C-alpha cells in the first residue's frame, strides 16, 4: 500500500509540474472568443432579433425579399416578374449580415450619398433599383411600393446603431491588394475546377433550389447571372468577395484561398459570357472610374484589357501624377 501511495504522490507531482510549464500553452474558450471579437467587424442582427410589432413585420418582409427575392420578384414571382431568378442574398450573404460578405451594414449610415458612377446623390431606393437592374439583370421597383419600403425598413433596422457618416470595419467587401501581375483567367479556370465547380458546376450555371425557386448555388455567368454592369463584374470586388466567403461556408477568420487564387478565379469567372447593360450614362467624370473598371472610355491611355485584369501598378502611378 505504501508503494501505491508513493506512486500516487509522484504522479500528482508530475501533473503539477506539467501544468506549471504548459499552462501558457492552454487557451481557454473565453480567450479564443476574445481573439475572434478583437477583429471588431460588424455583424448584422439575425431574424430572431426583429421586433414583433407592425414595424417588425415590415422589416421581416424586407428581409424575406432579400433572402428569397426570386420567390417574390423572380420569373415566377408572386408579386412581379422582374428579376433573373437570383436572390439578393446570393451576393449579399446571410441576408446582408455576414462580415465582409457584401453586407448592408453601412447603408443606413452612408445613404443618401453622392456616387461617382451615376454622378448623382443617390437615395437608398435608387441604390436598391441599381442593384436590381445590374446584379439581378431586372427591372426597378416603384420607390413607394410595399416591397421597396420593406427593403428600406430592413436596411435602416440593420444599421440603426451605426453613427451617421461612418462605415464600420467588415461592411461591404474587403479590398485585396493589387497583384504585381495581371490576373490570369487560365490559371483561374484550374482553381475554379478545384474549388468552385462542385457547387457552381462546370458551365457556371449553379444549382437551383430544391423547390425550383431561386438557387442553392447561384449562376456565375450566363443569361441568369449578373450582367456586365454589376459591381461584381469588377474583378477586385469579386476577388474580395471570393477570398472571405468561398468555398462556402468559409469566413474571414479562416480563408482557404490565397489572394492570388481569389484574383485568378475572379478573372476566370468574369471572362465568361453574361448579359449586357448599356453603360453610356455611367461615370460622367471618366477620371473617377475605378482602376479596374472593365469598360472604357478612360481618362488615361491604358487598354481595357489592362484595366480589367491588370497589372495595375502603372495605372496607379499615372493617376497619382
Task: Tell me how far the alpha carbon of residue 279 is from its chain's centroid.
Answer: 23
Residues 102 and 150 in one domain: yes
CA 246/CA 109 separation, integer angstroms: 28
Nearest to residue 281, comparing CAs of 295, 291, 292?
295
Please state, in angstroms and as integers, the Cα–Cα distance from residue 15 to each residue in 2, 10, 27, following that order.
20, 9, 18
In angstroms, the CA 185 to CA 148 distance is 38
Helix (H) or strand (E) holding 115: strand 113-115
Does residue 151 sit in the same domain as residue 218? no
Please check whether residues 154 and 192 belong to one and the same domain: no
Residue 121 pairs in a beta bridge with: 114
State the residue range of the domain holding 238. Answer: 185-312
Question: Is 37 a domain residue?
Answer: no
Three-state SS string over 43-60 comes to CCCCHHHCCCCHHHHHHH
Is 191 found in the same domain as 152?
no
Same domain, 147 and 198: no
pLDDT at 39: 67
Q: How many CA atoms lie within 13 A of 194 on its CB side?
A: 11
Q: What is the pLDDT of residue 35?
A: 33
pLDDT in tens, 13-40: 444 433 333 333 322 222 223 233 446 8
Whether residue 9 lies inside any domain: the answer is: no
Same domain, 296 and 210: yes
Based on the domain organization, do 303 and 204 belong to the same domain?
yes
Q: Which of 142, 158, 174 is the last residue of a domain?
A: 158
**3-class DSSP state for residue 200?**
helix
| Helix 146-158 / helix 54-67 crossing angle, nearest 10 deg | 100
What nine digits make up the cell of 154?
430592413
Among candidate residues 105, 107, 83, the one with its CA nearest the CA of residue 215: 83
Q: Is residue 179 included in any domain, yes or no?
A: no
Q: Are residues 200 and 130 part of one domain?
A: no
Cα 312 from Cα 293, distance rounded (Å):
11
pTM of the model: 0.87
**DSSP 3-state assignment of 121?**
strand
29 lies in some domain: no
Residue 28 domain-assigned (yes or no): no
> What confidence score (pLDDT) does residue 37 get?
41
Length of the chain: 321
Residue 220 domain flag: yes
Give, as one character, the DSSP assignment of residue 288.
Answer: G
User: CATH code at 132?
Assistant: 1.10.760.10
* 52 Rama sector, left if φ>0, alpha if ψ -120 to 50, beta otherwise: alpha
What is the distance in angstroms between the CA of the first residue and the CA of the last residue of the chain? Answer: 87
Do the Cβ atoms of 155 and 108 come closer than 8 Å? yes
Q: Do residues 225 and 152 share a domain?
A: no
Closest Cα to residue 268, out of 204, 321, 215, 218? 204
Does residue 318 lie within any of the structural domains?
A: no
**How many distinct structural domains can be found in the chain?**
2
pLDDT of residue 321: 83
**Are the C-beta atoms of 302 and 229 separated by less than 8 Å?**
no
Same domain? 270 vs 192: yes
Which residue positions in the chain have pLDDT lower than 70? Answer: 1-39
Q: Are 88 and 69 in contact (CB under 8 A)?
A: yes
Helices and strands in the chain, H and E counts: 14, 4
Residues 215 and 305 in one domain: yes
Does residue 302 share a domain with residue 201? yes
Judge whether 166 lies within some domain. no
Cell of 44: 448584422
Amino acid at each position: 500500500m505504501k508503494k501505491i501511495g508513493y506512486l500516487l504522490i509522484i504522479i500528482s507531482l508530475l501533473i503539477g509540474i506539467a501544468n506549471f510549464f504548459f499552462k501558457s500553452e492552454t487557451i481557454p474558450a473565453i480567450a479564443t472568443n476574445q481573439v475572434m471579437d478583437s477583429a471588431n467587424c460588424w455583424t448584422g442582427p439575425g431574424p430572431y432579433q426583429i421586433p414583433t410589432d407592425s414595424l417588425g413585420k415590415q422589416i421581416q418582409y424586407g428581409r424575406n425579399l432579400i433572402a428569397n427575392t426570386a420567390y417574390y420578384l423572380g420569373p415566377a414571382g408572386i408579386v412581379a416578374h422582374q428579376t433573373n431568378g437570383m436572390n439578393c442574398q446570393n451576393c449579399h450573404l446571410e441576408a446582408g449580415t455576414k462580415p465582409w460578405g457584401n453586407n448592408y451594414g453601412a447603408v443606413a449610415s452612408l445613404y443618401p450619398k453622392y456616387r461617382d458612377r451615376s454622378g448623382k446623390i443617390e437615395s437608398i431606393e435608387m441604390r436598391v433599383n441599381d442593384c436590381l437592374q445590374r446584379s439581378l439583370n431586372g427591372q426597378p421597383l416603384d420607390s413607394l411600393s410595399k416591397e421597396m419600403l420593406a427593403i428600406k425598413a430592413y436596411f435602416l433596422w440593420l444599421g440603426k446603431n451605426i453613427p451617421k457618416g461612418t462605415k464600420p470595419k467588415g461592411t461591404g467587401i474587403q479590398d485585396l491588394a493589387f497583384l504585381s501581375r495581371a490576373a490570369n483567367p487560365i490559371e483561374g479556370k484550374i482553381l475554379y475546377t478545384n474549388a468552385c465547380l462542385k457547387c457552381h458546376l462546370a458551365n457556371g450555371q449553379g444549382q437551383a433550389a430544391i423547390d425550383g425557386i431561386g438557387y442553392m448555388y447561384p449562376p456565375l455567368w450566363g443569361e441568369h447571372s449578373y450582367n456586365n454592369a454589376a459591381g461584381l463584374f469588377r474583378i477586385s470586388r469579386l476577388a474580395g468577395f471570393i477570398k472571405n466567403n468561398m468555398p462556402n461556408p468559409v469566413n474571414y477568420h479562416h480563408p482557404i484561398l490565397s489572394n492570388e487564387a481569389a484574383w485568378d478565379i475572379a478573372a476566370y469567372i468574369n471572362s465568361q459570357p453574361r448579359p449586357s447593360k448599356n453603360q453610356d450614362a455611367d461615370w460622367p467624370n471618366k477620371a473617377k472610374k475605378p482602376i479596374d473598371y472593365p469598360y472604357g472610355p478612360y481618362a488615361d491611355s491604358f487598354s481595357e484589357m489592362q484595366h480589367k485584369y491588370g497589372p495595375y501598378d502603372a495605372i496607379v502611378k499615372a493617376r497619382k501624377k
